[in-house]
């Protein structure tokens, strides 16, 4: 239902090519300074601005819930579903490496590390932590 509301009330108003990313409850889109923003609110079911007044200068998405935004003032926002975003993994997954994966100039696989992954021991009925690499 939330996706339909997002599509009907918000995204169909844009010209083709202006929507960069869309998920169930979020959208990243291009707009000129004189164009209005999407309607926002503070309540459940309403859109909220994740950028907090900052501008997104660069954007690259590998798929659902996996994207990177470079904001003004040098801030980088990285979302990567299924990957623990510890400092070592963040260093490997920069805008340059993700953009390179997309345009084919930097085609490689990345092993990510989680120094304290939760592992279920079903035989002893306990949860342990141990480092893993994927």
- pLDDT values of the chain reduced to their tens digit, one per residue, 134 residues: 666 766 666 667 777 777 788 776 677 888 888 887 777 777 776 777 777 778 889 999 888 888 899 998 888 888 888 887 888 878 888 888 888 888 877 666 667 777 777 788 888 888 888 888 77
Domain housing 77:
1-131
**pLDDT on residue 97:** 85
Helix (H) or strand (E) run with residue 70 in it = strand 66-71
How close are the terminal C-alpha atoms of the chain, in Å?
Answer: 35
How many domains, in total, are found in the chain?
Answer: 1
**pLDDT on residue 110:** 64
**pLDDT on residue 70:** 92
* Residue 100, φ and ψ in degrees, nearest 5: -65, -40
């Amino acid at each position: 239902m939330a996706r339909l509301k997002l599509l009907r009330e918000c995204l169909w108003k844009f010209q083709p090519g202006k929507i960069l990313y869309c998920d169930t409850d979020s959208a990243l889109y291009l707009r000129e300074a004189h164009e209005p923003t999407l309607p926002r609110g503070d309540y459940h079911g309403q859109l909220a601005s994740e950028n907090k007044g900052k501008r997104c200068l660069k954007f690259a998405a590998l798929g659902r819930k996996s994207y990177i935004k470079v904001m003004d003032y040098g801030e980088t926002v990285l979302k990567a579903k299924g990957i623990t975003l510890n400092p070592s993994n963040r260093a490997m997954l920069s805008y340059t490496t993700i953009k390179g994966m997309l345009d084919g100039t930097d085609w490689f696989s990345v092993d990510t590390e989680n120094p304290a992954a939760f592992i279920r021991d079903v035989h002893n009925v306990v949860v342990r932590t141990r480092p893993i690499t994927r």
